[in-house]
Amino acid sequence: MLREPLTMFCYTDLSGAVRGKGFPSRLLEKRLKGGIGWTPTNLMFTALGTIAESVWGSFGDLTLMPDPDTRVEVEFGDGTPAERFYLCDVHDTDGTPWNCCPRTLLKEAVAALKARTGLTLRATFEHEFVYAGAHARTADNYALDAVRRHGAFGETFLAALTAAGVPVDSYLSEFAPGQFEVTVPPLEPLAACDAAVTLKEMARATAWRLDSSVSFSPRLSPDGLGSGVHIHFSLWDEAGDPVSHAASGPHGVSARAGSFLAGIVRHMPALLAFTAPSPVSYLRLVPHAWTGIWSNIGVRDREAGIRICPTFGQSEEATARQFNFEFRAADATANPYLALAVIIRAGLAGLDENLTMPDPTVGEDPEAMTPATREARSIARLPSSVDAAMAALAADATVQGFLPKPLLEAYRVNKAGEFAIARDWAPEEICRRYAEIY
């Protein structure tokens, strides 16, 4: 059968979907220099396949400009066409970055952090997903047999990630039936988000070639276990030395890292509009489900909004290099570039104001505290619905300022269009629809 190799130029939209345009791969050299055409209103595609009201309408033109470092070309060796794509920034036709490009937003947040503090971030996205072909059964969590019974998926998926340039740290069977987790070592922010996008596409590509599917949706059923995306991060100086840890600091947290965390905690309710941005997100973010529903910093606590993670170093240097924090109130319905950008901006706001880190919780359940105790310790219940998350964003002028006004307004309108469709769905229908989409 005749074939013309195809390459895609892609970007990640406001709902985390990877969209783009393809062309014959023989034109790659030309396209790497000139990009490929795009349309502003494409930003208004909702997660549910509709087009939200667009300020651009039918007007305007843009360019998807590829980042050569994001090249993916993976041959699965089964006779199917290779996966060939690049991740792109969105530019105006004059070559300047478009002010509604999520990838550019992250670049600007990283640059601001470095310019104002001399610091940079290393981050990684820890993904959970459900594989439909897992032959799941009760008590599969962490089981060797669960990995065996899902057949070729695991090894093929990991091989695809390696071929795509995404390093893998661990892979395991998680708690829910058919659920697996894959982790990636920390990278600089842009590379971490690019890896997160590529990872999900390689999981989907692998499952498709095995006549099956995967879902990264936060919930597949209202009473089931959820799949989250835990965002790990740490701070480093310009010399490449870690600065998150201080042996004498509270629970090992340095003063600068404490200010960074304090900024995130202060703005965490509004951040959820970007990190947990769909109706199905809040079927997962419920009490005692090992998800972050409080704006607290917890020591090795998987129900804290931010977890101070354990280290396994045998020396102070090893401990400092491993020391990191985990933002737990996030999932795969988010755009990773937007999510990490607002987290960085919130942390930077904490550094700018030299905020003091709230006292971390140690073996404490905020739900068991009195309201007065929670208030005194700056612990608030995070939004329990998308409407509450968007209301928190509307009430937080600082977080609104993290985005250019056109992008903020486009995001609000896009999500409102999505929510209007899903508003009357029962939880079972919400789970079914989002499981298919993600």
Q: What is the pLDDT of residues 373-405, one digit of tens each?
A: 988 888 999 999 999 999 999 999 999 999 999
Residue-wise pLDDT tens digits, 287-324: 888 888 999 999 988 889 999 999 987 788 999 999 99
Residue 313 is predicted with a pLDDT of 74
Q: Which two tokens stand for residue 378?
A: 């700056």
Which pairs with CB-CB distance under 8 Å and at least 24 residues apart come from 146-155?
146/173, 147/171, 147/172, 147/173, 150/178, 150/180, 151/210, 152/210, 153/206, 153/207, 153/210, 153/212, 154/180
Note the pLDDT of residue 376: 87
State the burial class of residue 98 (Cβ atoms within 10 Å of its Cβ: 0-12, 13-18, 19+).
buried
**Residue 249 pLDDT:** 93
Would you say residue 330 has pLDDT above 90?
yes
Residue 214: band (very low, low, confident or very high) from pLDDT cuts 50, 70, 90: very high
Contacts of 86 (CB under 8 A, 6+ apart): 7, 8, 9, 10, 66, 67, 68, 70, 71, 72
Give pLDDT, residue 301: 85
**Interval 361-377 mean pLDDT:** 89
Evaluate if residue 430 carries a pLDDT over 80: yes
Query: Do 13 and 42 touch, CB atoms closer than 8 A?
Result: yes
**298: Cα within 13 Å, side-chain hemisphere:** 23
Q: Where in the chain is the domain with CATH 3.30.590.10?
A: 105-437
Domain with CATH 3.10.20.70 in the chain: 6-104
pLDDT beyond 90 at 139: no
Cα–Cα distance measured from residue 10 to residue 18, given in angstroms and rounded to the nearest whole number: 6
Looking at domain 105-437, which of 3.30.590.10, 2.60.40.10, 3.40.640.10, 1.25.40.10 is its CATH number? 3.30.590.10
Phi, psi of 399 (to 5 degrees): -65, -35
Min mean pLDDT across 95-104, 196-205, 291-300, 428-437 is at: 291-300
Q: How far apart are CA 192 and CA 169, in angstroms?
A: 13
Burial pattern 38-66, b for ≥16 Cβ within 10 A else e, equals bebbbbbbbbbeeebebebeeeeebbbbb
Residues with Cβ within 8 Å of 317's Cβ and at least 6 positions away in sequence, in order, are none
Q: What percent of the chain has pLDDT over 70?
A: 100
Q: In terms of pTM, does the model score above 0.85?
A: yes
More confident residue, 368 or 76: 76
Check residue 387 and give its pLDDT.
96
Residue 55, CA distances (Å) to 191, 413, 414 in order: 31, 10, 11
Kindly give the interhelix angle for 386-395 and 255-275, rounded to the nearest 10 degrees: 130
Q: Residue 368 — very low, low, confident or very high, per pLDDT cuts 50/70/90?
A: confident
Show the tokens assigned to 281: 């997100």
- Sequence letter at residue 13: D
Number of other residues whose CB lies within 10 A of the CB of residue 182 = 24
pLDDT of residue 224: 85
**Do the Cβ atoms of 195 and 231 come closer than 8 Å?**
no
pLDDT in tens, 3-49: 999 999 999 999 999 999 999 999 999 999 999 999 999 999 999 99
Q: Residue 117 pLDDT more than 80?
A: yes
pLDDT of residue 153: 97
Per-residue pLDDT, 367:
87
Please name which of 237, 244, 230, 238 lies closest in space to residue 323, comparing C-alpha atoms.
244
Least confident of 114-128, 188-202, 244-258, 290-304: 290-304
Domain formed by 6-104, architecture: Roll (3.10)
